[in-house]
Chain A
Amino acid sequence: MPAVTETLETVQSVTDSGYKWGFETDIEMEFAPKGLNEDIVRFISAKKNEPAWLLEWRLKAYALWQKMEEPTWAAVKYPPIDYQDAYYYAAPVQKVKPKSLDEVDPELLRTYAKLGIPLKEQAILAGVEGAGDSPSDSGRMPIAVDAVFDSVSVATSYKERLAKEGIIFCAISEAVQEYPDLVRQYLGTVVPQGDNFYAALNSAVFTDGSFVYIPKGVRCPMELSTYFRINAKSTGQFERTLIIAEEGSHVSYLEGCTAPMRDENQLHAAVVELVALDDATIKYSTVQNWYPGDAEGRGGIYNFVTKRAQCRGRRSKVSWTQVETGSAITWKYPSCVLLGDDSVGEFYSVAITNNWQQADTGTKMIHVGKRTSSTIVSKGISAGQGQNTYRGLVRVAPTASGARNFTQCDSLLIGDRCGAHTVPYIENRCMTAKVEHEATTSRIAEDQLFYCRQRGLTQEDAVGLIVNGFCREVLKELPMEFAVEAQKLLQISLEGSVG
């Protein structure tokens, strides 16, 4: 079929250069010396002007990490990582606070513009004085944004407006200075320093991330969003996010991530901790679009992330929604520990692996409290030579009487060189619990593609439409603006996957 070959070629050229976030910002950076040792940990802590307890906390993590081994149980393959051959601290050089956009490093502004952050938020992010005080343009629902550039949070928008409600939304390094008691009370209580290899590494060298605190009874009036960007070469990003939702509060938090295109693999090992108290709700949405590597599998981000929520309170609820389109390797299991009676955990996931991408992702739902319930909806899409594994644990403790879980895992295969794997672990120690698991594997059928094309859709549009349909249950969980972005991303990620 010459026509198909032609499509393939066109698409390959698109894929090779199709990652539009692959640019690099040329900006003055400050680095710590390459490599990792106790001095580097001290260096980072000193840079951040941290209190002694936090330095001790980091050093303990470093000591634990040194004794730990990299996990090998995930269905992913990669050459050994040389942890001494990377920078653990890289930050844009801080200048005096600019008075207007004209004084801001134009390279930084250009980066924000390319990342699609609106001008108003750009001004705020760039730290222009007073930029966050007036309402956003065009009546659009404002989104409070925290931008993390390599190792530091460069700015947070709408801080003052949120403060009126008693909401704290800032860089975690800032929270350490401003709200040390809160940070100390919660940091590491959901993901302890020694939880796993990457969490320990993160605990030792984490550089920045977001901190969110929603006081009792407050519904956060806007979406909170953090934008993570790896820019510098040979740099790992180790961000740490901590969200605390007090009794009866409600918050929706979004994170987006991109990185320049490079031939080398870069490590991103984040830790996210969520705490929901009585009747609190946290909705955490991720659109992960780290550079996935090129069509031959060169470069790309290793995304080794530990995300966990504790539903400590009664009737508390945590909902994870993730759209994972990027990264060379994704190792990620956003989890819920359902401690409070009647607490609810949800996990909605779309993971795409195209070309040589590998994903081993899923969730853990740990039922401890009575009548706790969890829902897992996982949609895995494999194309090219991509390998996609759903790995999920549903554990019901003897205490969790009346607990319920429903799991649905659907895999969609595109082409005949990719793989989909489903590895569900179910450990039920409670007689009155009900655990359900459904799984399907399907292909995009030739007749579906032909039907769409006969109606005038191109092959790529047809694939995009069918894949979006396949993911609909997950995409509808995303906040509106993110959902549109995610749909486009799904299509871009799969360009060239059919032929």
Chain B
Amino acid sequence: MSLVIENLSAAVDGKPILNGITLAIPAGEIHAVMGPNGSGKSTLSYVLAGRDGYEVTGGAATFEGRDILAMEPEERAAAGLFLAFQYPVELPGVGNALFLRTALNAIRKHRGEPELDAMQFLKVARERMRTLNMTDEMLRRGVNVGFSGGEKKRNEVLQMALLQPRLAILDETDSGLDIDALKIVADGVNALRGPSFSALVITHYQRLLNYIVPDRVHVLLDGRIATSGGPELAQRLEAEGYATIQAEAA
């Protein structure tokens, strides 16, 4: 098993958001979590990544058998957990190349691999960028500063491609993307697919799932998994909306 979430509850500013989520992703599988606004999708991703202010009030979550909730955010990253942000953060004055290399070396250090110098890094980065149809220009700019929405998301995918996580959580990475950018995101995830890679794709819409075909689809309503199914569940949601599921769940 890659990710196992059991009866997980969490609160923000004392307000309960997640109300007992249970979910398991076997290694090698990609699961989608869909849900309307306010259902707790982003909270789930932040709780799993360990953001301050997201208080776990009950339940457990393990990643490859390790209790991730007890770990610092950077330890979770080192263990192979990657969160593609819904709103990637700007770091003024910090060069993208320096940031990516620092991040990659931090992860490599944890894995016991030698750190890469600037030249070695550039070689690796360029290889990955070629497969993602990105240009060097991306490396020369500040981290997400002055990036368009699409560029920010592509930068997230580039980071994911470089860091080679074992579990990727995509928090509405598709929101605000045109079809070309959507394909790049999907290609980035699909390129990592393999027996030791799992992903949790959080999305509001079904269209990303045309490109990243999930093994399972879970519907999140009011901080709980209301129903689960195969890829066809996403199709059904697209056609009928969340209201039907809501009614069924009630």
Binding site for B on A (CB under 8 A): 1, 3-4, 445-448, 450-459, 461, 465-466, 468-473
- Chain A's closest residue to B51 (CB) is A450
30 CB contacts below 8 A, A to B, read A447-B89, A448-B90, A448-B91, A450-B49, A450-B73, A450-B89, A452-B99, A453-B50, A453-B72, A453-B73, A454-B74, A454-B82, A455-B99, A455-B106, A455-B159, A455-B163, A456-B77, A456-B78, A456-B106, A456-B107, A456-B110, A457-B74, A457-B102, A457-B106, A461-B102, A466-B94, A468-B93, A469-B94, A470-B92, A473-B93
- B113 interface residue (CB < 8 Å to A): no
In the bound complex, residues from chain A placing their C-beta under 8 Å from that of B92 are 469-470
Contact partners of A451 in chain B: CB under 8 A: 85, 88-89, 91
| B21–chain A nearest beta-carbon distance, Å | 20
Task: Tell me which residues across on chain A come within 8 A of B51, comparing CB atoms.
Answer: 450
Residues of A within 8 A of B102 (CB): 457, 461, 465
Q: How far is the CA of A389 from the CA of B143 in the complex (A)?
A: 29
Q: What separation, in Å, do the CA atoms of A1 and B72 have in the docked complex?
A: 11
Residues of B within 8 A of A459 (CB): 74
Given B78, B93, B107, which contacts A470 in the complex, CB threshold below 8 Å? B93
The smallest C-beta distance from A416 to any residue of chain B, in angstroms, reads 15
- Shortest Cβ gap from B129 to chain A (Å): 17
Verify if B103 is at the interface (C-beta below 8 Å from A).
yes
Q: A451-B85, A455-B159, A456-B103 are in contact. Are A472 and B77 (CB under 8 A)?
A: no
Contact of B52 among A1, A452, A465, A468 (CB under 8 A): A1
A458 and B88 in contact (CB under 8 A), knowing A450-B51, A469-B142?
no
B window 70-106: CB within 8 A of A: 72-74, 76-78, 82-83, 85, 88-94, 98-99, 102-103, 106
Report, as a range, how many residues of chain B touch the other chain. 20 to 34
Q: Is the CB of B94 within 8 A of A454?
A: no
With both beta carbons as reference points, the residue of chain A lying nearest to B169 in the complex is identified as A454
Q: How far is the CB of A488 from chain B (nearest CB, A)?
A: 14
Interface string of B14-56 (1 = CB under 8 A from A): 0000000000000000000000000000000000011111000
| Residues on B with beta carbons closer than 8 Å to the beta carbon of A454 | 49-50, 73-74, 76-77, 82-83, 85
Alpha-carbon distance between A108 and B88 when the two chains are bound, in angstroms: 52
Are B106 and A3 touching (Cβ within 8 A)? Answer: no
Q: Are A446 and B106 in contact (CB under 8 A)?
A: no
* A456 lies within 8 A of B163 (CB): yes
For B107, the chain A residues whose CB sits under 8 A away are 455-456
Contacts of A445 in B (CB 8 A): 89
Given contacts A469-B93, A469-B94, 19 further A-B contacts (CB under 8 A): A3-B72, A445-B89, A446-B52, A447-B89, A450-B51, A450-B52, A450-B73, A450-B89, A451-B89, A452-B99, A452-B103, A453-B50, A456-B78, A456-B163, A457-B74, A457-B103, A459-B74, A465-B98, A468-B93
| Cβ–Cβ contact B73 & A468, under 8 A | no
Residue of A nearest to B46 (CB): A450
Contact residues of B between 156 and 209, Cβ < 8 Å to A: 159, 163
**Complex CA–CA separation, A458 to B109 (angstroms):** 12
The A contact surface, by secondary structure, is helix
Q: With CB as the reference atom, state the residue of chain B lying closest to A450.
A: B51
Contacts of B110 in A (CB 8 A): 456
In the A-B complex, the 4 residue pairs with the closest CB atoms: A469-B93, A469-B94, A456-B106, A455-B103
Report A-chain residues with C-beta under 8 Å of the C-beta of B90: 448
Closest CB of chain B to A36's CB: distance in Å?
A: 46
- Name B99's closest neighbour in chain A (CB-CB): A465
Nearest chain A CB to B230's CB is how many angstroms away? 30
Specify which chain B residues have a CB less than 8 angstroms from the CB of A461 in the assembled complex.
102, 106
- Chain A neighbourhood of B106, CB < 8 A: 455-458, 461
Distance between A226 CB and nearest chain B CB, rounded to angstroms? 29
The complex places the Cα of A3 from the Cα of B53 at a distance, in Å, of 13
Contacts of A4 in B (CB 8 A): 52
Q: Please, which residue of chain B has its CB at the minimum distance from the CB of A4?
A: B52
Q: In the complex, which of the residues A1, A453, A458 has the most CB atoms of chain B within 10 Å of its own CB atom?
A: A453
What is the minimal beta-carbon distance from B50 to any residue of chain A, in angstroms? 8
Q: How far is the CB of B203 from chain A (nearest CB, A)?
A: 19
B85 cross-chain contacts in A, Cβ below 8 A: 451, 454
Chain A's closest residue to B83 (CB) is A454
Write the nearest CB–CB distance from A312 to chain B, whole angstroms.
35
Q: For the complex, what is the distance from the CA of A454 to the CA of B48, rounded to whole Å? A: 11
Task: Given A465-B99, A465-B102, A469-B142, answer yes or no on A453-B77 (Cβ-Cβ < 8 Å).
Answer: yes
- A469 and B91 form a contact (CB under 8 A): yes
Residues of chain A lying within 8 A (CB to CB) of residue B83: 454
Q: Which residues of B contact A469 (CB under 8 A)?
A: 91-94, 142-143
Contact of B91 among A1, A456, A466, A471 (CB under 8 A): A466
- Minimum CB–CB distance for B167 against chain A, Å: 12
Q: How far is the CA of A469 from the CA of B74 in the complex (A)?
A: 20
- Determine the residue in chain B with the shortest Cβ distance to A447: B89
Asked if residues B93 and A455 are in contact (CB atoms below 8 Å), the reply is no
Across the interface, which residues of B come within 8 angstroms of A458, CB to CB?
74, 106
Q: What chain B residues lie within 8 Å of A453 (beta carbons)?
A: 50, 72-74, 77
Nearest CB on A from B92, distance (A): 6
- Measured between beta carbons, the chain A residues less than 8 angstroms from B89 are 445, 447-448, 450-451
Cα A279 to Cα B61 in complex, Å, equals: 68
Complex: A466 Cα to B90 Cα, angstroms: 10
